């Protein structure tokens, strides 16, 4: 495999010669893969590109791409990755900082994971053995730790412990060669969370390799002040367009309309007019909501998996059956509520909404798993 280590630089003249020498020592340790280093420099005023050019005479594996102006880290990586795939025939792309914060001795450890079949190899600061610099003050450490936790939670990627690291190795075939760089939401550091989200959701086999993120010893930090805000902006758009989130949102809306129907019947017949007992009024309201929910979910929430023709009857019966389970849960909880409430309307309401919550979660699971079977390929894409 040809591994292209992409090093984006802006004013890294001090560390660049040292880093090239360090790579020259480390690359021969990788026996069964071909290592190439690609510097992507945004015409740094301190002449970083000239230093690379000078070393190119000595090292055949050293390549350089110069962008005419500063394009932000995401912009620089987009250009570098496209160049590495198109011009250098890369099989794997490594993202690597040019200021020694990603210590070069970890490169072979990440590369060997290719042999174990991994598509996405993450240099991780937040798994045992990994760390952030001890010299970082409280606020910088907190920004990193909390920022990562927030990103991890909002991306809904609990399996990845370091979602904001910049040290990664990605497979080209089937993954990076299918990524459309025009869709990059941010040209800044936040591009990283988008690539992570893309790779994991594309089904990449992922592994995290611990590494000690070193303190910056020379040059200046280029991290922009509003990086956290920029990362949140990227995550917002990623999730806004995420079909799974959209589906859950639609399910919520449909469930909400069902809830309004059911609650109206419950409140009017069971609480206000007292024509029915609260438990019976709940079940009657539920029946009406079932019909409405099935129709709306089939036409809208699970549109990609829509049931048509004669199968609608079968699926509707199944839906009814699973809804009966839900009604059973509600009935049981409300019965319990009736015995506890001893006539108190407020306590009954508490049990009523508690039961609804349990039922919502159960229903969403059953719909996905058994009714519309969303883990299978959508009928429209078959």
Ligand X SMILES: Nc1nc2c(ncn2[C@@H]2O[C@H](COP(=O)(O)OP(=O)(O)OP(=O)(O)O)[C@@H](O)[C@H]2O)c(=O)[nH]1
| Residue 303 interface partner, choices Mg ion, ligand X, none, CB cut-off 5-8 Å depending on type | none
Instruction: Give me the least distance between CB of 101 and Mg ion, in Å please.
Output: 4
| Residue 2 interface partner, choices Mg ion, ligand X, none, CB cut-off 5-8 Å depending on type | none
| Residue 335 interface partner, choices ligand X, Mg ion, none, CB cut-off 5-8 Å depending on type | none
Tell me phi and psi for residue 168, to 5 degrees.
Answer: -150, 160
> In whole angstroms, how far apart are CA 372 and each of 192, 295, 320, 368?
34, 13, 14, 6
Contact with ligand X (CB under 6 A) among 3, 5, 9, 93: 9
First vs last C-alpha separation in the chain = 33
Beta bridge partners of 41: 9, 66
Contact with ligand X (CB under 6 A) among 3, 5, 12, 95: 12
DSSP 20-68: HHHHHHHGGG--SSEEEEEEEE---TT-HHHHHHHHHTT-TTEEEEE-S
Contact with ligand X (CB under 6 A) among 2, 216, 303, 373: 216
Instruction: Give me the least distance between CB of 149 and ligand X, in Å please.
Output: 17
Say if CB 301 and CB 250 are below 8 A apart: yes
Which residue's beta carbon is nearest to the bound ligand X?
221
* Binding segment toward ligand X, per CB under 6 A, in 2-10, 168-176, 250-258, 335-343: 2-10
Q: Which is nearer to ligand X, 9 or 194 (CB)?
A: 9
Beta bridge partners of 2: 34
Residues 23-62, one symbol each (x = binds ligand X by CB under 6 A, - = not), give -----------------xxx--------------------
Q: Which is nearer to ligand X, 65 or 90 (CB)?
A: 65
Helix (H) or strand (E) holding 248: helix 243-265
**Is 99 an interacting residue with respect to ligand X (CB under 6 A)?**
yes
Closest CA to 168 of 97, 86, 84: 97
Interacting residue ranges for ligand X, rule: CB under 6 A: 8-10, 12, 40-42, 70-73, 76, 97-99, 101, 216, 221-223
């Amino acid at each position: 495999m040809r591994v292209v280590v992409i090093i984006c630089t802006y004013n890294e003249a001090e560390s660049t010669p040292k880093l090239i020498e360090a790579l020259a020592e480390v690359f021969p340790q990788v026996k069964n893969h071909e290592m190439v280093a690609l510097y992507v420099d945004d015409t740094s005023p301190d002449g970083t590109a000239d230093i690379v050019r000078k070393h190119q005479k000595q090292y055949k594996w050293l390549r350089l791409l110069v962008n005419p102006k500063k394009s932000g880290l995401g912009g620089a990586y987009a250009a570098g990755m496209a160049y590495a795939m198109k011009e250098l025939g890369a099989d794997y792309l490594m993202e690597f900082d040019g200021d020694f914060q990603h210590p070069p001795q970890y490169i072979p450890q990440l590369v060997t994971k290719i042999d174990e079949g991994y598509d996405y190899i993450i240099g991780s600061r937040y798994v045992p053995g990994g760390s952030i610099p001890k010299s970082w003050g409280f606020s910088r450490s907190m920004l990193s730790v909390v920022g990562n936790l927030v990103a991890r939670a909002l991306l809904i990627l609990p399996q990845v412990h370091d979602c904001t690291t910049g040290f990664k190795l990605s497979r080209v075939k089937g993954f990076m060669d299918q990524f459309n760089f025009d869709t990059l939401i941010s040209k800044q550091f936040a591009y990283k969370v988008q690539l992570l989200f893309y790779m994991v959701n594309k089904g990449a086999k992922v592994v995290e390799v611990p590494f000690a993120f070193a303190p910056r010893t020379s040059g200046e930090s280029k991290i922009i002040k509003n990086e956290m805000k920029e990362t949140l902006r990227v995550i917002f758009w990623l999730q806004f367009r995420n079909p799974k989130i959209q589906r859950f949102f639609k399910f919520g809306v449909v469930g909400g309309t069902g809830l309004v129907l059911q609650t109206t019947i419950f409140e009017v017949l069971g609480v206000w007019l007292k024509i029915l007992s609260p438990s019976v009024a709940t079940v009657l309201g539920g029946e009406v909501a079932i019909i409405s929910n099935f129709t709306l979910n089939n036409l809208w929430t699970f549109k990609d998996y829509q049931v048509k023709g004669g199968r609608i009857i079968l699926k509707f019966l199944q839906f009814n059956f699973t809804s009966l389970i839900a009604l059973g849960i509600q009935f049981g909880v409300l019965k319990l509520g009736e015995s506890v409430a001893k006539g108190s309307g407020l306590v009954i309401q508490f049990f009523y909404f508690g039961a609804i919550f349990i039922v919502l979660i159960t229903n969403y699971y059953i719909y996905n798993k058994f009714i519309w079977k969303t883990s299978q390929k959508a009928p429209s894409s078959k």
